[in-house]
Amino acid sequence: MIRIVILGTGNVAKHLLGAFKKAKDVEVVQVYGRKNSVLESLGSDYQTTTEVSSLKQADIYILAISDDAISEVSKQLDLKAGLVVHTSGSVPLAALSKKTKRGVFYPLQTFSLDRKVDFAEIPICIESENEADTGILKQLASAISKKVEYMDSDQRKALHLAAVMANNFTNHMYYLSSEFCSQNNVPFSLLHPLIQETAKKIEDLSPYDAQTGPGRRNDRGTLKKQKAQLKSKRHKKIYSLLSKSIRKTYGKKL
């Protein structure tokens, strides 16, 4: 049985709590949060505290808090034993205080409070400073996910930025598309099946091979016409830059 304490009450903390609740051989012995009102909203399943000084003994302390707070909170912890980990993609392991054993437990997913996610499919990237700690983190991650990956802080930072491109920027493409739809009185929902298929395709094909469209074909006539169709300067600028980037990817002269 791995005994854990969760520090935090936000999106990531709540999703982790939900996942650990169903996991075998893991016991959440306490949840720390700054506000009692928020802690109470978690239900009566957990022992809670608002005092860092009142933390119970556990094997692993999971800091599921904002990036900026990680370093500071880790310094405040006064623990005799236990491994302290954070859950951030972009913060290095070294940001944690040296007073305790330290590591990283980063679930690579976008979490919204009101959406269920299948934790078994979410990759968990772990990092630690010795084999014993890696062992227990692997065990904890495997209790909730099928995909556990060891990586160092630099790799994780790169993965986090790759996630910004694949998630934040992709979602912004959806937004620009929806904006253009409403400007032209067509329902954006018609594009939902296309969007799902575009995402599914890359599980079988590399994004390089999956690319289609006028940029890939270097169809200058269509590229010119489509740019002219766009009304806003912002849309035109993005259309040009991304079309150029696609053409360049496939070795076309610009």
| Token reading at 136 | 């227990």
Nearer to its own copies, 58 or 64 (CB): 64
Element (H, E) at 28: strand 26-32
Smallest distance, its own copies to C-beta of residue 154, A: 8
Nearer to its own copies, 95 or 166 (CB): 166
Residue 34 amino acid letter: R
Residue 62, CB-side half-sphere exposure with 13 Å CA sphere: 32
Q: Dihedrals φ, ψ of 133, to 5°?
A: -65, -40
124-128 and 26-32 strand pairing:
unpaired
Nearer to its own copies, 80 or 115 (CB): 115
Q: Where are the beta strands (DSSP E) in 108-251?
A: 124-128, 148-150
Smallest distance, its own copies to C-beta of residue 178, A: 5
Smallest distance, its own copies to C-beta of residue 194, A: 5
Nearer to its own copies, 49 or 90 (CB): 90
- Coil vs helix vs strand at 110: coil
| Inter-residue contact 246 to 226 (CB < 8 Å) | no
Smallest distance, its own copies to C-beta of residue 136, A: 22
DSSP 29-69: EEEE-S-HHHHHTT-SSS-EES-GGGPPP-SEEEE-S-GGG
In this structure, the number of other CB atoms found within 10 A of the CB of residue 98 comes to 10
For residue 149, list its beta bridge partners.
125
Smallest distance, its own copies to C-beta of residue 195, A: 5
Nearer to its own copies, 51 or 197 (CB): 197
Nearer to its own copies, 100 or 149 (CB): 149
Smallest distance, its own copies to C-beta of residue 44, A: 29
